[in-house]
Amino acid sequence: MAKKKKEEMDALLFIDTNILLDFYRDRKSDISMKFLEQIEACKDRLILGSQIEMEYKKNRQHVILESLGRFGTPDWGKLSAPALVSETQAAGMIEKHRKELVKQQKILTEKIQGILEKPGTQDEVYKVLQRVFKHDSPYNLNRADKRRFAIRRLARKRFSLGYPPRKKNDTSYGDAINWEWLVQCSIDSGKDIVIVTRDSDYGVVYKDSSYLNDWLSQEFKQRVSQKRKLKLTASLSEGLKIVHAKVTKEMEEAEKVMLSDLWSRLLTLDDIEPEQDVL
């Protein structure tokens, strides 16, 4: 049987805020920078806006602190050697390493404080994303772009009618703004759209595959084009490859491990309530 030809897309890429915040969660630092380099390299194809920038900057510090929850001082009391062996070489080595660990922990604490206080010079993730957010592009709905007023009006109407993407207890219409803007970008550019997210507002995940919400799929075809493609994926690697970014095997494998760890925490689909995000 002939191998099925891979579907080609001429696409713009929308990366959900939670994916950007992942750089402070589970990604290893060296791999993170490779992903960030490719995000910046394809900035001309990114769907951006002040809404995404605000969500990222609003949550960055909180996510950093959450990630530091596992980073604390060991219980040195449990490592204190009993008096009868306190003069042994092993006890001396424990004390020596304790002092070194305390020294290194102090260095890391100062580094973290710098990242929180001066992200523009101390946070490598922030510096790259700041350049991306400031990039002048027809797909960047920044605060100087008057089109934002029309997009906000559409988003308010969408939110009041309860249309997706929207969580059950949402009090703001940020997701609606992002959706209306990506629809407009597809209309204006004539390009397909790839959404990288693990937000249940946009669809569901089943057996490691993402499926776009039925209403959003229908709406996109009606408002944009029956021929235009809209793809949902939880994989940043996949999204970047579609817009021709350079994604290495190492990057793909590292992300697979991260996603596998995430999915393993979700035993069944019943564990995900309809309005709950995966993260």
Q: Domain-by-domain residue ranges, the chain?
A: 11-70+90-266
- Judged against a pLDDT cut of 80, whether residue 147 lies above it is answered with yes
In this prediction, residue 200 carries a pLDDT of 87
**Encoded amino acid at 96, one letter:** K
CA dihedral defined by 163, 168, 171, 172, rounded to 10 degrees? -40
Closest CA to 208 of 266, 129, 160: 266
- Judged against a pLDDT cut of 80, whether residue 27 lies above it is answered with no
The predicted-structure confidence for 219-248, as pLDDT tens digits, reads as follows 999 999 999 999 999 999 999 999 988 999
- Judged against a pLDDT cut of 90, whether residue 205 lies above it is answered with no
In this prediction, residue 107 carries a pLDDT of 80
User: With bands split at pLDDT 50, 70 and 90, how would you rate the model's confidence at 74?
Assistant: low
In this prediction, residue 72 carries a pLDDT of 60
How many Cα atoms sit within 13 Å of 138 on the Cβ side? 9
Q: Are 136 and 46 in contact (CB under 8 A)?
A: no
Candidate from 122-126, 213-217, 269-273 with smallest mean pLDDT: 269-273
The predicted-structure confidence for 262-272, as pLDDT tens digits, reads as follows 766 554 333 33
The mean pLDDT value for 6-23 works out to 89
- Judged against a pLDDT cut of 90, whether residue 101 lies above it is answered with no
Q: Are 17 and 49 in contact (CB under 8 A)?
A: no
Helix (H) / strand (E) element for 195: namely strand 192-196
User: With bands split at pLDDT 50, 70 and 90, how would you rate the model's confidence at 274?
Assistant: very low
Burial 141-175 (b: 16+ CB within 10 A, else e): bbeeeeebeebbebbeebbeeebbbbbeeeeebbb
CA gap 6, 88 in Å, rounded: 66
User: With bands split at pLDDT 50, 70 and 90, how would you rate the model's confidence at 129?
Assistant: very high
Higher model confidence: residue 260 or residue 11? Answer: 11
In this prediction, residue 278 carries a pLDDT of 39
The mean pLDDT value for 164-179 works out to 90
Higher model confidence: residue 279 or residue 216? Answer: 216
The mean pLDDT value for 189-206 works out to 92
Average pLDDT of the residues of the chain: 84
